[in-house]
């Protein structure tokens, strides 16, 4: 897949921080973004999450790692995000 080397990430591309949930596929990761939303009627904060399919060119992230991802052009049907860096490595168990 030599065309993936040409992926350019702009400086103002949206970036998010999340936790790697799955690393079973080659060069692909499932990253969960956890956040809180205030309930419109009751005012209580509710936990939500978004799951992103992320391209990891060098397979450098593992399950439990905290990573930063950036939005890029569509790589496949579900992947539109690319791994920029691993922030915190998970402890090996």
pLDDT digits (tens, 9 = 90+) for 40-62: 999 999 999 999 999 999 999 99
Comparing C-alpha atoms, which of 92, 91, 83 is closest to residue 27?
83
For residue 34, give the nearest of 46, 22, 48, 45 by alpha carbon.
Answer: 48
pTM of the model: 0.85
Question: Which CATH homologous superfamily contains domain 13-88?
Answer: Nucleic acid-binding proteins (2.40.50.140)
What is the predicted pLDDT for the residue at 5?
66
CA-to-CA distance for 65 and 74, rounded, in angstroms?
Answer: 24
pLDDT category, 67, cuts 50, 70, 90?
very high
Nearest to 72 by CA among 58, 61, 83: 83
């Amino acid at each position: 897949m030599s065309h993936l080397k040409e992926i350019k990430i702009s400086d103002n591309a949206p970036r998010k921080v999340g936790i790697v949930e799955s690393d079973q596929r080659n060069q692909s990761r499932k990253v969960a973004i956890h956040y809180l939303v205030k309930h419109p009627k009751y005012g209580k904060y509710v936990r939500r999450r978004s799951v992103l399919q992320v391209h990891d060119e060098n397979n450098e992230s593992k399950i439990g790692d905290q990573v930063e991802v950036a939005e890029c052009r569509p790589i496949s049907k579900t992947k539109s995000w690319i791994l920029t860096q691993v922030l915190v490595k998970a402890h090996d168990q």
